[in-house]
Amino acid sequence: MPEAARVLRPGGLLAFCMPSPVIDLVFEVQAEIVDLVELRPPEDADSTYDFVPLEWARRWPAENIWKARKPVR
């Protein structure tokens, strides 16, 4: 996964959505989770998802963005 190479460098930052195989890489290289962004649809949004109702996603995010950084040692 070429885009995940950033987290392999000391100080490298990577943002990814879950579920993702990238989480295994994050733990393998002992990166730290530095942020979690919970995405919520605005009031005027339309949904294309069939697995979660729009009202539900406004209250409990259906998507998240995780940010991980490999510490500089």
Query: Per-residue pLDDT tens for 12-54?
Result: 777 777 667 777 777 777 788 888 888 888 888 888 878 888 8
Strand arrangement, sheet containing 32-39: 13-17, 63-69, 32-39
The residue ranges of every structural domain in the chain are: 2-69
3-state SS, one letter per residue, for 10-63 = CCCEEEEECCCCHHHHHHHCCCEEEEEEEECCCCCCCCCCCCCCHHHHHHCCCE
Count the Cβ atoms, other than its own, within 10 Å of residue 47. Answer: 15
pLDDT of residue 18: 67
pTM: 0.63
Report the chain's terminal Cα–Cα distance, integer Å.
Answer: 24
